[in-house]
Structure 1
Amino acid sequence: MQPGDNKQIKSVEKSFRILECIVREGRGGVNELAQELDYSLSTVHAHLSTLQELDYLVRIDREYAISNRFLHFARHAQSRVEGLDVIKANVRRLADETDERVQFMIEEHGRGIYIDKAEGEYGAPNNTLLGKPRYLHMCASGKAILANLPKERMVEIIDYWGLPAQTEKTITDEKVLFSEIETIREEGLAMNKGETVNGLIAVGAPVLSADEQIIGSISISGPAHRISTNGKVKEMYCDKLIGATEDITLNLKYP
């Protein structure tokens, strides 16, 4: 590294910490952001002014908000996902057929990113946010992805991110998780039994490419009384989910 390289990297890091804070709070002023991030007022002001000048921020009532220029980056990132159009069509169809919330997740940097979702008539609200990283071990989509990664990659992810808990039902023991992963590999379906939100059940299945490589996963989620019976996901949801993932793979194999 050349002298000054570390300073440049830290500067970029501060810009993104400021952007993340604005997203988290909705918008922010110089004083509020400086206090939240423990940066000096002059540092925050310099970063905000630069980001606004580059059109990545807009001013609203003396506060800063994220500009829609980021849509260009999001769409570019999504364009890398194989078969995204047919995936989105199946996500929407599943939501209409089940009346529940349906989501599509991919893996990046060892965590899950939801990049598409659709609400059915009775879709239960939860904390699914497009683009926000999620731990793979605690959600149905994430477990479906882990089960279809090479074992070395799966272990690497778990070693790096650990197994933090979000509810009292989140799996935090590696042996328990590995045992469940084996079951998912055999059955082709993963479950989330209140591991991210109490009372919320989800079932997920992998989306595979034509050469059977993992692209991502689709999940259906809803309250326990609608999704499951005696702790098991109702057969209707499982059948529709498997049908959707198989349809995607067939469309990729025979476009």
Structure 2
Amino acid sequence: MGTKARNPVKSVETTFTIVQALKELDGAGVTELAEYLDLPKSSVHNYLSTLEQEEYVVKEGTEYQVGIRFLDYGAYARDQMDIFEVAKPELERLASETGELANLLVEQHGIGSYLYRTRGEMAVQVEGHVGTRAPMHATGLGKAILAHLDEDRVHEILDEHGMPPSTSNTITDRDELFAELERVREEGVAFDDEERLSGLRCVAAPVHHEDEIRGAISVSGPTNRLRGERFREELPNKVLEVQNVTELNITYS
């Protein structure tokens, strides 16, 4: 959730609560949605009918689904970020050279959002797609960004979103996380050692422009391939190379 509005409009809050619930339920009928949200069926029906009228949801039989019109807004928002167009070809090169999955993540409202993902020949199929949101403390990408935010801002993010575990390896202690962020600043890269998904590791680096953290890039893959020298030296060097080129291109493009 973003910054609290001074005078929130209840109907707007309910509208987006319903849209979010449709996503969580992977589509639902009026009765199921009303029970899920503990709202009157008549109110849910009215909201869904209006959303369908405005083409933000579609109805298939008795079930409603989030409509593809939202994709227009997501693509527009992504295109407004210069880091996307600049990092895209570098990430494609990174994926091609490593054979793994290359990623670009930005932070908004204290949550990480994947802006771009591209796959190399050996890349594993993992959950998540462009637009997927991820907790900052549980990803290498998120830690790369947190390490370069003001400390008070990091506390604000943790206060709002907490530090829930995604796996048994997720850092859930605030002091341990801040020690990890200090290491990230010293070494320039962040590691995700099965902290968000079991069996998956990641090497990430922040992307800056004019002393401002703009996002983070990474390469990720299965633990059987991301280990030893490849995990700790070879891939970090490749990620830092992509970081350097991306920052230069943002500055001079």
Q: After TM superposition, is the score higher than 0.5?
A: yes
Task: Name the SS of the counterpart of 2:225 in structure 1.
Answer: helix
Q: Residues 217, 8 of structure 1: CA spacing in aligned structure 2 closer, same or farther, 3 A cutoff?
A: closer
Alignment partner of 1:242 is 2:240: yes
Matches of 1:249 and 1:187, distance apart in 2:
18
Using the TM superposition, give the Cα deviation of residue 102 of structure 1 relative to its aligned residue in structure 2, in angstroms: 1.4
Confirm or deny: 8 A CA contact 2:84 2:116 kept in the other structure: no
What is the aligned partner in structure 1 of residue 65 from structure 2? 65
Confirm or deny: 8 A CA contact 2:117 2:129 kept in the other structure: no
Using the TM superposition, give the Cα deviation of residue 234 of structure 1 relative to its aligned residue in structure 2, in angstroms: 4.3
Using the TM superposition, give the Cα deviation of residue 70 of structure 1 relative to its aligned residue in structure 2, in angstroms: 1.2
Aligned residues: 249
Matches of 2:222 and 2:124, distance apart in 1:
7
Using the TM superposition, give the Cα deviation of residue 6 of structure 1 relative to its aligned residue in structure 2, in angstroms: 10
Matches of 2:174 and 2:83, distance apart in 1:
33
Note the residue ranges of structure 1 that are not aligned, 5 or more in a row. none
Q: Deviations over 1:138-189 (max 9, x none)?
A: 1000000001112221222223222211111111111111111111001110
Q: Residues 90, 199 of structure 1: CA spacing in aligned structure 2 closer, same or farther, 3 A cutoff?
A: same
What is the aligned partner in structure 2 of residue 158 from structure 1? 158
What is the aligned partner in structure 2 of residue 227 from structure 1? 226
Matches of 2:8 and 2:225, distance apart in 1:
52
User: 2:235 is aligned with what amino acid?
Assistant: Y
Runs of 4+ in 1 over 3 A off after TM superposition: 5-8
User: 1:244 is aligned with what amino acid?
Assistant: V
Matches of 1:252 and 1:114, distance apart in 2:
19
Confirm or deny: 8 A CA contact 1:82 1:215 kept in the other structure: no
Matches of 1:8 and 1:49, distance apart in 2:
23
Q: 1:71-86, aligned counterparts within 5 Å?
A: 71-86=71-86
Matches of 1:54 and 1:11, distance apart in 2:
15
Confirm or deny: 8 A CA contact 2:79 2:85 kept in the other structure: no
Using the TM superposition, give the Cα deviation of residue 129 of structure 1 relative to its aligned residue in structure 2, in angstroms: 3.4
Matches of 1:115 and 1:14, distance apart in 2:
27
User: 1:125 is aligned with what amino acid?
Assistant: Q
Percent identity reads 37
What is the aligned partner in structure 1 of residue 32 from structure 2? 32
What is the aligned partner in structure 1 of residue 176 from structure 2? 176
Bigger CA drift: 214-223 or 157-166?
Answer: 157-166
TM-score by length of 1: 0.91
Matches of 1:176 and 1:79, distance apart in 2:
36
Note the residue ranges of structure 2 that are not aligned, 5 or more in a row. none
What is the aligned partner in structure 1 of residue 15 from structure 2? 15
